[in-house]
Structure 1
Amino acid sequence: MKKILFIMTCFIVQDISAQVNRFVYQVTMKPDAENKSDVKTENAYLDISKEKSQFYSENRIKRDSIMQAMFQSGGARNFNREQMEGLRSNIDYSIEKDKASQKVVYKNRIGRDVYSYEEDRPINWKILSETMKIGDYKVQKAETDFAGRKWTAWFTTDLPYQDGPYKFSGLPGLIVKIEDDKGEYSFDLMKNYKIAELPDLTNRFGNAMKVKRTDYVKQQEKFKKDPVSFMTQQNSGGGGGGMRIGAPSPPQSRGGGGQNGDFRKRMEERMKEEVKKNSNPIELN
């Protein structure tokens, strides 16, 4: 009898401490504008607490946890390149929504610096009468135009949350599925469960420089145009001590032949290829 009471107490304590609901979405993307047949699929977490929610890549968290464990147990000697390649993510950003203030904060890395901005564009929904069932949930249709794409969402009132993946929220229920009209980006709810607390993403994504969204976009465009010069400029600025919008780009030839020149060339080719593979972003405007 005592054993049964102990087990029941453990379950009650676990239920009380598990104040965060984790919703796992399958994210399907076509990030390469020149190769729409290259479809990327991975999972992302939407963690919802009483105060806020966080949306971020499952692979990113797993990758960072493995790297941290490797360095603690021997550093480079334990580096497993194949394992790390399998956890590469196309979702480099994290998004935090504050319930009280209704602020949506986007955080991402450009080059070596991490930036964050507060979303300044409201999402205006048109709720339609059409309903259907997705999995166990009765869902209703809604539409919106946001950041250059037309989106169709299906939300449910079966769950007590007015939230959704990415920056999407504000419907009278949780978004179970949302997809753009070109079929290039979609988010589909796969499962949900409880976790003890919200993960601290600061340690994983780093401290961010707070900027305006328009300034973030300017930095992003500068990086896409010439990623190597952009990162060289970051280095010359002491590793990222503030915004450098409007600053002149460094000369293309910075000296250093031989191995240094070869390394720069390989890095430049790799970074340009990465930019090309991400030439169809989720936000077109």
Structure 2
Amino acid sequence: MKKIGIFVLSLFIHTFFAQTNRFVYQVTMKPDASDKNDIKTENAYLDISPEKSMFYSENRIKRDSVIQSAMQSGGARGFNREQMEGLRSNINYSIEKDKKNQKTTFKDRIGRDVYTYEEDRPLNWKILSETRKIGEYKVQKAETDFGGRKWTAWFTTDLPYQDGPYKFGGLPGLIVKIEDDKGEYSFDLMKNYKIAAFPTMNQFGNTIKVKRTDYVKQQKKFMEDPMSFMTQGGGGGPQPPMRIGGNSNLGDMRKRMEERIKEEAKRNSNPIELQ
């Protein structure tokens, strides 16, 4: 009985420490360069384990669940378009940080495929002496330049993680708040709790590994000619078949697709990284 008790205790301890910690950030954005009064707000998750962390939109998980359910109940006909529309996100990327190898991997969908690259720019922080309190945490100020923006971060050593939202990390504690000096992007820690494990991300289409500069080029090409990305190579994607009404021809499809992409481009003309 004593051996059984020790085994159960050790199993409990292993399970407890193997859990992943989820930090929920409120992300506030002004993604439309032509309308700075258009402010978007949504939640994103930073899931942290001893080996890695992942940052992604809360709506991503909800959207994946809707897609999975639709696929199981009739494919494209099973899509609840109103529900999917309500789960639109300005955070269409995901970011994984490998703790052991100190690598940050960025993933984003372009057309029907997922493009991934390893971040090649180091974060050079200037840690300042200024401190304050945000919520229950004592925080300290730090600054950095990244992606064409000047960022101010507030980190806490009250939590044993040298991490943060988006690509940010490497400070002596967890980033509780970070914003750029133009007030166009900010990440604010709202709450945290434990989860059993990292969620499974639905993966549609091919995964194409590129350099960061090549990703930027492909993104620009997509904005100029979106249909070429939807009809070439591809390997499928989460989108239902590209049909717009029963009598639509290819010309109609191309026109509507391009209009939609141009509208999305306008809505996202002020990206988090300017260079």
CA RMSD for the aligned pairs? 2.4
> Which residue of 2 is the match for residue 155 of structure 1?
155
> Which residue of 2 is the match for residue 221 of structure 1?
220
Point out where structure 2 has 5 or more consecutive residues left out of the alignment.
237-246
> Which residue of 1 is the match for residue 23 of structure 2?
23
How far is 1:222 from its partner? 1.4
Alpha-carbon distance between aligned partners in 2 of 1:176 and 1:206, rounded to the nearest angstrom = 35
Alpha-carbon distance between aligned partners in 2 of 1:192 and 1:14, rounded to the nearest angstrom = 20
From 228, 231, 236, the equivalent of 2:229 is: 231
Indicate conservation of the 8 Å contact 1:17/1:196, yes or no: no
Is the aligned partner of 1:279 residue 2:269? Answer: yes
Measured against aligned partners, the alpha-carbon deviations of 1:126-174 in whole angstroms (never above 9, x if no partner) come to 0001110000000000000001000000000000000000000000000
Alpha-carbon distance between aligned partners in 1 of 2:167 and 2:41, rounded to the nearest angstrom = 19
Matches within 5 A, 1:177-256: 177-201=177-201, 203-204=202-203, 208-228=207-227, 230-231=228-229, 235-236=231-232, 238-239=233-234
> Which residue of 2 is the match for residue 247 of structure 1?
none
Q: Which amino acid aligns with 1:197?
A: A
Measured against aligned partners, the alpha-carbon deviations of 1:48-82 in whole angstroms (never above 9, x if no partner) come to 00100000010011011122123323445543222
Indicate conservation of the 8 Å contact 2:112/2:234, yes or no: yes
Indicate conservation of the 8 Å contact 2:116/2:210, yes or no: yes
How far is 1:113 from its partner? 1.5
Alpha-carbon distance between aligned partners in 1 of 2:268 and 2:31, rounded to the nearest angstrom = 5
Alpha-carbon distance between aligned partners in 2 of 1:131 and 1:143, rounded to the nearest angstrom = 13
Alpha-carbon distance between aligned partners in 2 of 1:18 and 1:69, rounded to the nearest angstrom = 29
How far is 1:223 from its partner? 1.5
> Which residue of 1 is the match for residue 244 of structure 2?
none
TM-score by length of 2: 0.87
C-alpha change, 1:147 and 1:107, in structure 2 (3 Å) is same
**Could you say what secondary structure the match of 1:272 adopts?**
helix
Matches within 5 A, 1:95-114: 95-114=95-114
Indicate conservation of the 8 Å contact 2:178/2:188, yes or no: yes
**Could you say what secondary structure the match of 2:68 adopts?**
helix
How far is 1:264 from its partner? 1.6
TM-score by length of 1: 0.84
Indicate conservation of the 8 Å contact 1:61/1:204, yes or no: no
Indicate conservation of the 8 Å contact 1:18/1:195, yes or no: no
How far is 1:42 from its partner? 0.5
> Which residue of 2 is the match for residue 55 of structure 1?
55
Point out where structure 1 has 5 or more consecutive residues left out of the alignment.
242-256
C-alpha change, 1:31 and 1:120, in structure 2 (3 Å) is same
Matches within 5 A, 1:80-119: 80-119=80-119
> Percent identity, aligned pairs only?
76
Indicate conservation of the 8 Å contact 1:18/1:194, yes or no: no
Is the aligned partner of 1:264 residue 2:259? Answer: no
C-alpha change, 1:182 and 1:106, in structure 2 (3 Å) is same
> Which residue of 1 is the match for residue 242 of structure 2?
none
C-alpha change, 1:17 and 1:83, in structure 2 (3 Å) is farther
Alpha-carbon distance between aligned partners in 1 of 2:100 and 2:189, rounded to the nearest angstrom = 25
C-alpha change, 1:13 and 1:62, in structure 2 (3 Å) is farther
**Could you say what secondary structure the match of 2:214 adopts?**
helix
Q: Between Structure 1 and Structure 2, how many residues are aligned?
A: 258
Indicate conservation of the 8 Å contact 2:162/2:169, yes or no: yes
Alpha-carbon distance between aligned partners in 1 of 2:258 and 2:182, rounded to the nearest angstrom = 32
